[in-house]
Amino acid sequence: MTDPSEHGGPTCGTGDRGLPGAGLVKGLAVTLKTMTSRSTTQQYPDVAPELPPRSRGVIALSEENCTVCMLCARECPDWCIYIDSHKEEVAVPGAARPRQRNVLDKFDIDFSLCMYCGICIEVCPFDALYWSPEFEYAEYDIKDLLHDKDHLGQWMATVPPPPAHDPNGEPAKEETAAARKAARPAPPAVRPDADQDPAS
């Protein structure tokens, strides 16, 4: 004799179904609970959202730190950074010949191509690029998303200060170097009259 549940008859799984309409009652209970609770919707245009401390909004440029090393443009996977510069001679007092330095003429970022990976900020050796939490720079025309160095420089005012150093973490390289330099003994002072003959 075989078990009737093996044939998938009408008695198959009746213990799992429960009352008819139980799922509808559970769904309505969730709806009623949501209707009676207070809404947590933020009124975005009127109330500024609280962004996380490391939000990626727009890239800001500190023009005086840029040495036109082109690392950011070379490492950008989207090729959305355009840099142009010229060389300028600087006369240094006491030097045999004038030195040359790069002067930044053009620094543009096309935010219609940028994927906000942050590689340009990480590879910059002179801290010329920063993340700004500002994100309200949408445009009606895609061509207006090409920001020049003046526009990127205006975002520097919105860059937050760096977070405080973790007291339990490793000290900064500058702090370690300064502590080593301070712990080094000072060289002995040489008396000016040591070279002179004592008989004279």
> How does pLDDT run along the chain (200 residues), one tens digit per residue?
555 555 555 555 455 567 888 899 999 999 998 888 887 788 888 888 888 877 889 999 999 999 999 999 999 999 999 999 999 988 888 888 888 889 999 999 999 999 999 999 999 999 999 999 998 888 999 999 999 999 999 999 999 888 777 788 887 788 888 888 888 887 776 666 655 555 55
Q: Indicate if the alpha-carbon torsion angle 125, 128, 134, 137 is positive or negative.
A: negative
d(C-alpha 93, C-alpha 24), whole Å: 87
The count of other CB atoms within 10 Å of the CB of residue 151 is: 17
Domain housing 107: 58-91+98-158
d(C-alpha 139, C-alpha 46), whole Å: 20
- Examine residue 23 and state whether it is found in any structural domain, yes or no: no
> 3-class SS at 103?
strand
- Examine residue 46 and state whether it is found in any structural domain, yes or no: no
Q: Which helix (H) or strand (E) holds 104?
A: strand 99-110
> What pLDDT, on the 0 to 100 scale, is given for residue 147?
95
Q: What CATH number does residue 103 fall under?
A: 3.30.70.3270
Looking at residue 149, its amino acid is K
> What pLDDT, on the 0 to 100 scale, is given for residue 7?
55
- Examine residue 9 and state whether it is found in any structural domain, yes or no: no
- What is the model's pTM? 0.62
- Examine residue 82 and state whether it is found in any structural domain, yes or no: yes
Number of folded domains that form the chain: 1
- Examine residue 48 and state whether it is found in any structural domain, yes or no: no
- Examine residue 177 and state whether it is found in any structural domain, yes or no: no
- Examine residue 124 and state whether it is found in any structural domain, yes or no: yes
- Examine residue 167 and state whether it is found in any structural domain, yes or no: no
Residues 6+ apart with CB under 8 A from 122: none
Residues 6+ apart with CB under 8 A from 171: 165, 179
